């Protein structure tokens, strides 16, 4: 604490977590080893640029060949004295590194998507497919009205109505239908990063070696169930010195427009990467689960049946969050170093929490309905009709959701036969009151909080908590290296403005026309940014050998109650069945969003996994 300013605070040392939240010896040893190996990987730019200083921290990759070399030939690691840039990120591990051999040949493992198709990142079809079967399947939404309009103040940010016109979309749809018809048939979808990012554009642009736009990306649902990428709109809001600038980019056979299209896609991918890491991943899983853990430990006895149900889903979360706060999301940490919002990352995440987070929308069915990706239909499987039938995350996720719900309902029914038994459980009610009033104090009076006043409301609330801690986190975490390890597919940051942004920089435009390949690489993350992110994604995508999976034997309920044991056995059996269903879907060539030449099968909702980077497996908890 700075006593001269009582409102300021300086954190020193590691973030404290209670002793019973610490990693096991096995987990801790593996985490340190994996992180140390990844620190070595992150040192790759030092081997290429000889000296790390402020200049080389921002060097782009000199060619795509050098990017490929990270996976194909390896590079020689220099002596530890050249790794000083890592000291602010991982000082303790750097000390460990000093005791290891000085020079090594290092290789990044080839990400799974590159193994399948090295050039998939260039294809519009893969860009669109990953919105349904990638690591951020929570961003895509249905277009429900047209023209598209911002909710931001036009006096501050410029015209509310999008520059994407009906005629432009109809031309890209090859005049098969009008925009009005496409909306009525639920054929138009979008990634909308416009209102979220636009207020931060000028703040972020004031930083060195980065840029930002608000963006909208539009897709058309084709007759074969895949999405076609139609248009990208990039917007820079007005400022005291410049008017608003925006432009719509579309696929083209014209070479200049084609390269501009690739650059526009790189910007949207960077927006998606920031949205994924800061909101879908950090905010909605790691951050949101912590109040449940604290309230449960404070208000429920260890013998309480609901504590016993929830406890496996809290394993290691506070420890991994403490590590994240120390090095990942901290000021000048890896996120601020390498992702688009940079120093505004946590502020943006907080704004998203204020505007977007609602407990009742965290249940998978409610989330799908909110985004227009499904509508309630009692006659349909899972009670939902999907807007896109081949939506791998939703299709597989709903299997997991229903399995969790069935197990939790059976468990709740065993201990809470009626509404009075729920309402009269003082520990349970104190737990839920603390979650609402302490864990989410600024939202405590919101009308959407469920009331724990019946077995049904209790079961739904607990199902949502388990879903978020286990399956939601697995869906957005364990594919990170598979999809982001080859960073041109998911650049974490876009560093240069579009060459056509007004006022046009004539020299930059000439360089773009002369060497568009280089212009794209300069837009991508620098060598240091890219390899640090690759290293972190490698760690985050790794299952420990002591991992405990959803429905696994390690977390079979402790009590010998026959009804509880039978329900859990049924839960485990159902999850094993689901693995077979998912395997079958991944071999069904009619499902083009998960099966086809060079397509990475969707396995993130497969419940069980071996240790390592496998791209599958649902741990009980947010444990990495």
Active-site residue among 281, 382, 440, 472? 281
User: Do 549 and 620 touch, CB atoms closer than 8 A?
Assistant: yes
> 473 an active-site residue?
yes
Integer Cα distance of 161 and 248 in angstroms: 13
DSSP string spanning 382-440?
GGEEESSS--HHHHHHHHHHHHHHHHHHHHHHHH--SHHHHHT-HHHHHHHHHIIIIIT
* Catalytic-labelled residue, pool 286, 311, 313, 472: 286
Helix (H, G, I), strand (E, B), or coil: what is residue 233?
Answer: strand
Judged by DSSP in three states, 371 sits in: coil
Q: Which of 313, 382, 473, 543 is catalytic?
A: 473
Among 279, 329, 582, 624, which one carries the catalytic annotation?
624
| Backbone region of residue 421 per phi and psi (left: phi > 0; alpha: psi in -120 to 50; beta: other values) | alpha
Yes or no: say if 107 and 71 are a contact pair by the CB < 8 Å rule: yes
Catalytic residue among 113, 321, 395, 477: 477
**Phi, psi angles (nearest 5°) of residue 149:** -135, 140
Closest CA to 30 of 529, 623, 473: 623
Backbone angles phi, psi at 603, to 5 degrees: -125, 5
Residues 6+ apart with CB under 8 A from 13: none
Active-site residue, 281 included: yes
CB-based contact 274:341 (threshold 8 Å):
yes
Annotated active-site residue 297? The verdict is no
From the number of C-beta atoms within 10 Å of its C-beta (0-12, 13-18, 19+), residue 326 rates as: middle
Packed helices 124-133 and 392-415: angle between N→C axes, nearest 10 degrees: 0
Residue 579 CB contacts under 8 Å (≥ 6 apart), including other chains: 606, 607, 608
Q: At what angle do helices 91-98 and 25-42 cross, to 10 degrees?
A: 80
Cα-flanking dihedrals φ and ψ of residue 446, to 5°?
-65, 140
Half-sphere exposure of 174 (CA within 13 A, CB side): 6
Q: Enumerate the active-site residues.
A: 281, 286, 473, 477, 624
């Amino acid at each position: 604490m700075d006593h001269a300013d009582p409102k300021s605070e300086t954190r020193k040392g590691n973030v404290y977590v209670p002793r019973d939240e610490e990693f096991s010896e096995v987990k801790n040893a593996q985490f340190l080893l994996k992180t140390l190996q990844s620190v070595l990987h992150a040192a790759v730019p030092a081997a290429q640029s000889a000296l790390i200083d402020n200049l080389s921290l921002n060097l782009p990759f000199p060619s795509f060949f050098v990017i490929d070399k990270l996976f194909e030939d390896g590079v020689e690691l220099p002596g530890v004295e050249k790794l000083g840039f890592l000291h602010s990120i991982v000082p303790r591990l750097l000390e460990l590194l000093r005791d290891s051999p000085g020079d090594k040949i290092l290789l990044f493992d080839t990400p799974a998507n590159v193994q399948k198709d090295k050039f998939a990142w260039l294809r519009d079809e893969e860009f669109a497919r990953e919105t349904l079967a990638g690591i951020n399947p929570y961003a895509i939404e249905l277009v429900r009205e047209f023209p598209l309009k911002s909710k931001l103040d036009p006096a501050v940010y410029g015209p509310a109505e999008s520059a994407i016109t009906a005629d432009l979309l109809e031309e890209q749809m090859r005049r098969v239908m009008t925009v009005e018809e496409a909306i009525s048939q639920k054929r138009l979808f979008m990634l909308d990063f416009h209102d979220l990012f636009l207020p931060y554009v000028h703040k972020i642009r004031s930083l060195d070696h980065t840029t930002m736009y608000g963006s909208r990306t539009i897709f058309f649902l084709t007759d074969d169930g895949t999405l076609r990428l139609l248009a990208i709109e990039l917007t820079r809001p007005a400022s005291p010195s410049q008017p608003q600038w925006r432009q719509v980019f579309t696929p083209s056979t014209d070479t200049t427009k084609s390269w501009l299209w690739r650059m526009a896609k790189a910007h949207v991918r960077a927006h998606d990467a920031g949205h994924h890491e800061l909101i879908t991943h950090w905010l909605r899983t790691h951050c949101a689960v912590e109040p449940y853990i604290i309230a449960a430990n404070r208000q429920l006895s260890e013998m309480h049946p609901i504590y016993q149900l929830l406890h496996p889903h809290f394993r290691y979360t506070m420890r991994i969050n403490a590590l994240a706060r120390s090095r990942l999301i901290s000021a000048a940490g890896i996120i601020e170093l390498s992702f688009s919002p940079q120093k505004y990352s946590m502020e943006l995440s907080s704004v998203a929490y204020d505007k977007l987070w609602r407990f009742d929308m965290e249940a998978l069915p409610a989330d799908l309905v909110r985004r227009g990706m499904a509508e309630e239909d009692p006659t349909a499987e899972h009670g939902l009709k999907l807007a896109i039938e081949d939506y791998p995350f939703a299709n597989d996720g709903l299997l997991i959701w229903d399995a969790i719900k069935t197990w939790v309902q059976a468990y709740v029914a065993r201990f809470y036969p009626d509404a009075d038994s729920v309402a009269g459980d003082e520990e349970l009610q104190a737990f839920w009151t603390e979650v609402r009033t302490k864990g989410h104090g600024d939202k405590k009076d919101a009308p959407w909080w469920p009331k724990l006043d019946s077995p049904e409301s209790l079961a739904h609330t607990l199902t949502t908590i388990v879903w978020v801690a286990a399956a939601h986190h697995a869906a957005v975490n364990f594919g990170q290296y598979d999809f982001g390890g080859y960073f041109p597919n998911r650049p974490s940051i876009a560093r240069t403005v579009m060459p056509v942004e007004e006022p046009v920089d004539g020299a930059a435009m000439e360089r773009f026309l002369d060497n568009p390949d280089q212009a794209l690489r300069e837009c991508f993350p620098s060598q240091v940014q890219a390899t640090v992110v690759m290293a972190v994604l490698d760690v985050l995508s790794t299952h420990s050998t002591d991992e405990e999976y959803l429905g696994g034997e390690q977390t079979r309920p402790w009590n010998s109650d026959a009804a509880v044991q039978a329900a859990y056995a049924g839960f485990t059996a159902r999850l094993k069945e689901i693995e077979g269903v998912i395997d079958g879907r991944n071999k069904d060539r009619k499902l083009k969003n998960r099966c086809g030449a060079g397509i990475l099968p969707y396995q993130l909702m497969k419940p069980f996994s071996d240790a390592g980077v496998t791209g599958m497996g649902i741990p009980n908890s947010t444990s990495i």
